[in-house]
Amino acid sequence: MSRWWFAPHPLARVAVLRTVLYLFVPLDVLVVTPWVGSHGAVPVALYSPVLLPRLLHLPTPTMSLVVLEVVLLTASLVAAAGRLPRLAGAVVAVGYTEWMFVAMSYSKIDHDRFALLVALWVLPTVGRAHRRDLSTSEAAGWALRAVTVAVVATYFLSAWAKMRWGGWGWANGETFYWAMSRRGTWLGHRLLDVPWALHVFQWVVLAAEAFSPLLLLLRPRWQRWGVAFFVGFHAMTYATISIHFLPHVVCLLAFLPLEQLPVRIRAFAARAGSVGGSGGKARTSPRAVRAPAGSAGGMPWTSKPLTGTATGRGR
């Protein structure tokens, strides 16, 4: 089990994922959940804290939420730049958790941010990681594994909740028909004319969520197909009932070989430069180095020329 949890992953994968998530936090705070800051001005009687704020005796939100917002945004940008990864990352983790405590303590509780919260807490433990550092690290492996487990847990526990509260009637009833008639988009309203398709899709969703733990065990190729399926599912959900699950979707990136992205971008830039500098005739690299598979999921690396070491230990 320890080999599964701590199997080395490339530090570059952590670096890319951290950049994406830390840049997503300002997007979430300013665009997706800007209404959280206004909770400091609503009547105190409406505040009903969730479990952890009650246990920690956190104060009732006030207009000081503006200070929290500024600190959170600043720390996110610092962490996204790769500066002070542990300190800035810890500030983001604490600040965003408090932001979510406030968001979910006024009768509305979402479950699309569980994986993001886990990611923000575990990624700072890796320490320094550069997007060109192809060496592997057990700390990187543990952090990425924790994020992928949180992603899968969100799906599996969603299926469990459906069975607990709705029973088989959730999948065998008119759940999607009701949702689309209540808040459906143009496409959702069109699907009301084919109720059998909605019925089938309910069973597909329930089965996909129930068997989502297999995503942790699949070979890399099939794992990517699984990620593509869930991204498609969330895209369809947004297209039919305007629910996006974007904080959860960005965490699906933890399953992918993100370390290849900077390599491919540099290779593309080099090819573009070669074409421009040789009168339109591209020059090929004299050799291509294939790095060994260095991640716990066995993700194959690119055959493009790589920069850095691929088999060293993490810092």
* Structural domain count, the chain: 1
Q: What is the mean pLDDT of the chain?
A: 85
268, containing H or E segment: helix 260-277
173 located within any domain:
no
pLDDT at 269 over 90: no
Q: Are the C-beta atoms of residues 100 and 117 closer than 8 Å to each other?
A: yes
pLDDT at 87 over 90: yes
pTM of the predicted structure, to 2 decimals: 0.82
Q: Are the C-beta atoms of residues 97 and 125 closer than 8 Å to each other?
A: no
At 107, the pLDDT band (50, 70, 90 cuts) reads: confident
CA 48 to CA 101: how far, in whole Å? 10
12 located within any domain:
yes
235 located within any domain:
yes
Q: What is the pLDDT of residue 197?
A: 92
CA 105 to CA 20: how far, in whole Å? 27
Q: What is the mean pLDDT of residues 173-198?
A: 91
Output the six-digit token pair for 112.
């699309």
283 located within any domain:
no
At 295, the pLDDT band (50, 70, 90 cuts) reads: very low
204 located within any domain:
no
62 located within any domain:
yes
194 located within any domain:
no
Domain around 32 = 2-165+211-255
200 located within any domain:
no
Percent of the chain whose predicted confidence (pLDDT) is above 90: 60
CA 230 to CA 225: how far, in whole Å? 9
Output the six-digit token pair for 12.
């570059």
Q: What is the pLDDT of residue 303?
A: 38
At 22, the pLDDT band (50, 70, 90 cuts) reads: very high
Q: What is the pLDDT of residue 286?
A: 42
Give DSSP secondary structure letters for 28-62: IIIIISGGGGGGGGS-GGG----HHHHHHTPPPP-
Q: What is the pLDDT of residue 89?
A: 96
Output the six-digit token pair for 98.
């408090």
